[in-house]
């Protein structure tokens, strides 16, 4: 097993994705955005996305240039790159993270906030593609820090949840 300090470290910004071998660790910070990690144990190749919205509402066949800001397009981009590396996406194990409610005081209905929509979209996309989800850390209030060690498929997720008092102090809770 590689030590985290020996791995090449990639930080994903919103809208980015990365496909890597066992020499990498991939990191990101998520609020309402969602990250899907895919890992192929036999080849020790993995992929990670950081998407902002579930879809732009177009059939992927009609999209000129795929954009990682959208969940459906990020998954397709990862699928294509994994295939170039000899990995069938259906042979990967998926983990899903994020979808937090960053502004609970401004959300009338828990089901309507963008984080919830992103998380539900990720689940649906993976199910549609026949990719098993082996773990998830979704929803709640606050943000998450994510580190994906591609050498062994482990994902570390730290959910920073605000207490009610902290939410009030920051204006997130009324």
DSSP string of the chain, one letter each residue: ---GGGSEEEEPPTT-EEEE-TTEEEEEEESS-EEEEEEETTTTEEEEE-BSBS--SS-GGG-SS--TTBHHHHHHHHHHHHHHTT--GGGSEEEEEE--BS-GGG-SSGGGSHHHHHHHHHHHHHHHTTPPEEEEEE-SBSEEEEEEETTTTEEEEEEEPPPHHHHHHHTS--
Work out the number of other CB atoms within 10 angstroms of the CB of residue 35: 29
Q: Where are the domains positioned within the chain?
A: 7-170
pLDDT at residue 144, rounded to an integer: 95
Asked if pLDDT for residue 122 goes beyond 60, the answer is yes
Contact yes or no for 140/107 (Cβ under 8 A): no
Q: Which residue has the higher pLDDT, 161 or 103?
A: 161
Distance CA 90, CA 163 (A): 39
pLDDT at residue 173, rounded to an integer: 44
Percent of the chain with pLDDT over 70: 84
CA-based nearest residue to 54, from 37, 39, 74, 31: 74
Fold of 7-170: 60s Ribosomal Protein L30; Chain: A; (3.30.1330)
Percent of the chain with pLDDT over 90: 72
pLDDT tens per residue, range 63-117: 789 999 999 999 999 999 999 999 999 999 999 999 998 766 665 665 578 999 9
Considering the entire predicted model, what is its pTM?
0.87
């Amino acid at each position: 097993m590689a030590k985290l300090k020996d791995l090449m470290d990639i930080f994903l910004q919103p809208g980015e994705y990365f496909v890597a071998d066992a020499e990498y660790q991939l990191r990101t910070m998520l609020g309402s955005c969602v990250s899907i990690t895919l890992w192929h144990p036999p080849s020790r190749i993995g992929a990670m996305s950081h998407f902002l919205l579930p879809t732009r509402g177009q059939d992927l066949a009609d999209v000129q240039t795929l954009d990682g800001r959208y969940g459906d397009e990020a998954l397709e981009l990862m699928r294509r790159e994994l295939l170039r590396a000899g990995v069938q996406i259906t042979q990967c194990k998926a983990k899903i993270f994020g979808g937090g409610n960053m502004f609970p005081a401004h959300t009338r209905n828990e089901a309507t906030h963008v984080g919830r929509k992103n998380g539900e979209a990720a689940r649906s996309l993976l199910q549609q593609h026949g990719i098993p989800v082996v773990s998830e850390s979704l929803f709640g209030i606050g943000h998450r820090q994510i580190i994906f060690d591609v050498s062994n498929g482990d994902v570390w997720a730290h959910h920073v949840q605000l207490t009610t008092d902290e939410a009030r102090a920051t204006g997130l809770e009324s």
